[in-house]
């Protein structure tokens, strides 16, 4: 038995289950690692992007590129999860067995990280005294801290996964593609409608709470499964790579040009539910799987990739706390005004987060929450 085939299934929403009969899917491991690096970049460089004192400078544009250039990462994480969680073999024993296997660990992580950020980071470290409204939002909002909405998102997708998988298993690949296209298309149209109405003076924000965080991501979840076998080559691959690059560059330019393009911002919102971000996300997923379809890394490289990939979920959850701790130490308390400092901060947060998660995964109790 190879090390790849011994890799256990996980319940973290960044599923690492091997594809049937083929060991690990190395292209998805690589994509997962790059994506979590992008998540850290988004949060680190957001400080400089939001700093009005440096807006328009070369350093600010560098921060925009590092931030908005990774706008596709969360949808891609959801797509990777859909590849494995919607597989019929995950549901052969019925919904109850699926839930017993997957939800306990995910719910444990949800409780652990929500309490850690709300009590330790928000209350003790940031010295913000919680009010009744804060506690209510903590329970009902599904976003106890900036990035933890992702846990509620994944819980919701796991809850509906048996229903989606049952529908998909009764049809062809075409059914999966049509279902994903319709669901994601409806999400994009809804997102565009919301921003257009708001621009016209009729405030119509999309409000997501704990039990509905998953809804706008169902299309990406389905798309991961529907596109799992798509492999492009030659001219087609080059064309899609070009289109994906254009979508990412367009997102960067559009954000950097705010607020001078209000009509464009209304019609093509820069959000996970906007058409440009959706195109970029689908393109990154398909192009990576296609370009790395025949990639078989050597044994040493496999061990490194496997460990980094398995740490990705924990890094996603932990990095924000590490980032706040780093920013409490000079000179990083001034990183929002310096692109080189922001780059250095990103490197420190990445390295420290991976190291801490690597160590946590070797402690039996803590392993279950990372």
Mean pLDDT, rounded, of the chain: 92
Provide mean pLDDT across the span 174-196: 97
- Please report the pLDDT score of residue 119 as a whole number: 86
Query: Is residue 109 over pLDDT 50?
Result: yes
Q: How high is the pLDDT of residue 23? A: 63
pLDDT of 6 reads 33
Residue 46's CB: how many other CB atoms inside 10 A?
17
Q: How buried is 328 (Cβ within 10 angstroms: 0-12 exposed, 13-18 middle, 19+ buried)?
A: exposed
Band of residue 343 on the pLDDT scale cut at 50, 70, 90: very high
Across residues 139-155, what is the average pLDDT? 92
pLDDT at 2 over 50: no
Query: Following DSSP, what letter does each residue of 252-313 receive, concatenated?
Result: HHHHHTTTS-HHHHHHS-SSTTSHHHHHHHHHHHHHHHHHTTT----HHHHHHHHHHHHHHH
pLDDT band at 203 (very low <50, low <70, confident <90, very high): confident
Q: Summarize the confidence of residues 93-112 as an average pLDDT.
A: 95
Rounded mean pLDDT, 18-32: 75
pLDDT over 70 (residue 11)? no
* Residue/partner pairs of 170-179 with CB below 8 Å, 24 or more apart: 173/226, 173/229, 176/222, 176/225, 176/226, 177/226, 177/227, 179/222, 179/226
DSSP 126-164: S-----HHHHHHHHHTS-SSTTTHHHHHHHHHHHHHHHH
Give me the mean pLDDT over the 7-11 stretch: 40
Evaluate if residue 101 carries a pLDDT over 60: yes
**Nearby residues of 89 by Cβ (< 8 Å), 6 or more positions away:** 20
Q: Is 127 left (phi over 0), alpha (psi -120 to 50) or beta?
A: left
- Percent of the residues in the chain that have a pLDDT greater than 90, as a whole number: 83
What pLDDT does 29 receive?
Answer: 97
pLDDT in tens, 111-145: 999 999 988 888 878 777 888 888 888 889 888 89
**For residue range 304-331, what is the model confidence (pLDDT) as tens digits?**
999 999 999 999 999 999 999 999 999 9
The rounded distance, in Å, linking the Cα atoms of 195 and 275 is 12
pLDDT digits (tens, 9 = 90+) for 222-264: 999 999 999 999 999 999 999 999 999 999 999 999 999 999 9
329/312 Cα distance (integer angstroms): 25
The pLDDT assigned to 35 comes to: 98
Q: If residue 173 lies in a helix (H) or strand (E), which one and from where to where?
A: helix 173-199
Lowest mean pLDDT among 43-47, 107-111, 130-134: 130-134
End-to-end CA distance of the chain: 26
The length of the chain is: 370
Helix 275-291 × helix 26-49 angle, to 10° = 140
pLDDT confidence of 3, banded at 50, 70, 90? very low
Q: Is the pLDDT of residue 10 over 50?
A: no
One-letter-per-residue 3-state SS of 203-250: CCCCCCCHHHCCHHHHHHHHHHHHCCCCCCCHHHHHHHHHHHHHHHHH
Alpha-carbon Rg for the chain in angstroms: 20
Q: Phi first, then psi: give them for residue 178, nearest 5 degrees.
A: -65, -45
The dihedral formed by the CA atoms of 119, 122, 123 and 125, expressed in degrees to the nearest 10: 110
pLDDT at 71 over 80: yes
**Helix/strand/coil for 87:** coil
> Is the bond preceding residue 331 a cis peptide, omega within 30 degrees?
yes
Dihedral over Cα of 192, 193, 196, 199: its sign: negative
**CA gap 217, 184 in Å, rounded:** 8
State residue 67's pLDDT score.
98
User: Residue 250 and residue 17: Cα distance in Å, rounded?
Assistant: 34
Residues 6+ apart with CB under 8 A from 345: 44, 323, 326, 327, 332, 335
Report pLDDT digits (tens) over 344-365. Answer: 999 999 999 999 999 999 999 8
At residue 12, the pLDDT reads: 43
pLDDT higher than 70, residue 20: no
| DSSP string covering 304-366 | HHHHHHHHHHHHHHHHHHHHHHHHTSTTGGGGGG-HHHHHHHHHHHHHHHHHHHHHHTTSHHH
DSSP state of 4: T
Q: Looking at residues 296-303, what average pLDDT do you find? A: 95
């Amino acid at each position: 038995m190879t090390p790849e085939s011994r890799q256990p299934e996980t319940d973290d929403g960044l599923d690492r289950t091997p594809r049937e009969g083929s060991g690990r899917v190395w292209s998805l491991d690589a994509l997962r690692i790059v994506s979590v690096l992008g998540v850290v970049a988004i949060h680190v460089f957001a400080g400089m992007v939001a700093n009005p004192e440096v807006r328009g400078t070369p350093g600010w544009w560098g921060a925009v590129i590092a931030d908005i250039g990774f706008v596709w990462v969360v949808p891609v994480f959801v797509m990777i999860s859909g590849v494995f969680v919607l597989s019929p073999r995950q549901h052969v024993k019925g919904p109850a067995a699926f839930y017993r296997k997957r939800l306990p660990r995910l719910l444990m992580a949800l409780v652990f990280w929500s309490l850690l950020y709300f009590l330790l980071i928000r209350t003790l470290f940031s010295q913000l005294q919680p009010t009744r409204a804060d506690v209510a939002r903590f329970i009902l909002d599904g976003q106890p801290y900036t990035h933890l909405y992702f846990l509620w998102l994944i819980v919701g997708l796991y809850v509906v996964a048996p229903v989606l998988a049952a529908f998909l298993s009764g049809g062809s690949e075409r059914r999966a593609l049509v279902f994903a296209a319709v669901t994601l298309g409806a999400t994009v149209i809804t997102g565009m409608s919301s921003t257009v109405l708001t621009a016209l003076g009729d405030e119509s924000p999309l409000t997501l709470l704990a039990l509905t965080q998953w809804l706008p991501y169902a299309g990406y979840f389905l798309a991961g499964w529907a596109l799992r076998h798509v492999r492009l080559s030659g001219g087609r691959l080059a064309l899609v790579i070009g289109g994906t690059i254009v979508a990412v560059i367009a997102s960067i330019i559009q954000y950097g040009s705010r607020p001078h393009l209000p009509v464009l911002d209304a019609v093509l919102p820069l959000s996970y539910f906007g058409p440009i971000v959706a195109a970029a996300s689908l393109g990154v997923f398909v192009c990576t799987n296609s370009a790395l379809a025949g990639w078989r890394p050597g044994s040493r490289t496999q061990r490194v990739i496997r460990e980094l990939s398995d740490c990705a979920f924990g890094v996603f959850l932990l990095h924000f706390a590490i980032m706040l701790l780093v920013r409490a130490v000079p000179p990083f308390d001034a990183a929002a005004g310096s692109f080189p400092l922001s780059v250095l901060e990103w490197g420190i947060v990445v390295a420290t987060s991976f190291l801490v998660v690597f160590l946590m995964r070797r402690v039996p109790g803590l392993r279950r929450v990372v």
